[in-house]
Amino acid sequence: MTGDRLRGWQSMRESRATRIAVVAIEAGLHARPAELFVRRAQQFASTINVIKERQCVDAKSILNVLSLAAEKGTVLTLEAVGEDAEDAVDALAELVNNGFAVDETRNQEQSS
Amino acid sequence: MKFADFVSPEAIRADLEADDKEGVVREMTSALMEAGKVAAEEYESIVKAILKREELGSTGIGRGVAVPHTKHPSVENLVGTVGVSAAGVDFASLDGDKVHLFFLLISPPDRPGDHLRALENISRQLRDETFCKFLKQSKASQDILQLLEEADNNQFVS
């Protein structure tokens, strides 16, 4: 029992998760969505990479994310390693797939 | 996309005088106007649009770099310029640091891809610390232009 729990705990700490996401936002991952993406990524402890074709960059660096020039329809692979890897790739994939709809609305409310 | 595709050499400023966000935007937009890249009657409208975009979130992306930008119907092609401030400007950056290096971009509303590729070029080149450092140390627009040309020739990033 204790052994099972320990193994479960260890695998959680070292877990690795991958998601595929397709850029839905019309203008692509320009400065604003890239910033939102990076801020969200920074909320997780895991190491997170974004992969576009042969480019693999740190999801927590805006210079790196902007350098992908991910246009609408671009397929991105999100890879995380760490204790919150699953949550991290889920959250980021949702942002990318849903075109940042939630956050854009929130910003409009804030600025109005 | 290369720097030469969107940076107007005559509008480059190595010695920005402004000490706040609005001042920098005005100074750089004026430089583009003087270079004949934006119409004088559109000046206020462009400045306001860039500042409005800054309200959504600072374009100060860290490492002492900011990319103030807007879409504007008065331009037919992506236009941009580079400015350096030796003293640095408080730009409400993501990392809180003062900004020394500015890339100002104005793009036609129907060409989001060009804007994205300009951002890609700027961010990719700036990942090289040497390029970043040399740009910030530039004392003359000619130095900046030369660095941009070297970057375009892949002398900083393989």
pLDDT of B110-145, one tens digit each? 988 999 999 999 999 998 989 999 999 999 999 999
- The pLDDT assigned to B101 comes to 97
List of chain A residues whose C-beta atoms are within 8 Å of the C-beta of residue B119 = 30-31, 66, 69
Catalytic residue among B69, B72, B100, B115: B69
Would the CB atoms of B67 and A28 count as touching at under 8 Å? no
Give dist(CA B27, CA B18) in Å, integer: 7
- The pLDDT assigned to A100 comes to 81
Give dist(CA A75, CA A73) in Å, integer: 6
Render pLDDT for A6-38 as a digit per residue (tens, 0 to 9): 555 555 567 999 999 999 999 899 999 999 999
Residues B29/B35/B41/B44 CA torsion (nearest 10 deg): 10
> Annotated catalytic, B115?
no
Mean pLDDT, chain B, as a whole number? 94
- The pLDDT assigned to A12 comes to 54
Give dist(CA B70, CA B4) in Å, integer: 19
Which positions of chain A have pLDDT values less than 70? 1-13, 101-112
Mean pLDDT, chain A, as a whole number? 84
- The pLDDT assigned to B154 comes to 85
Considering only alpha carbons, which residue of chain B is nearest residue A36? B57
Average pLDDT of the segment spanning B28-53: 97
Residue tagged 């693999």 (tokens): A56
With CA atoms as reference, report the closest residue to A106 among B68, B57, B15: B57
Catalytic residue among A7, A13, A30, A72: A30
Q: Is B118 within 8 Å of B152 (Cβ atoms)?
A: no
Q: Is B123 on the interface with A (CB under 8 A)?
A: yes
Which DSSP symbol is given to B98?
Answer: P
Average pLDDT of the segment spanning B60-70: 93
Which DSSP symbol is given to B7?
Answer: B
Would the CB atoms of B119 and A111 count as touching at under 8 Å? no
- The pLDDT assigned to B50 comes to 98
Would the CB atoms of A66 and B59 count as touching at under 8 Å? no
* Residue B10 in this model has a pLDDT that exceeds 60: yes
Give dist(CA A96, CA A107) in Å, integer: 17
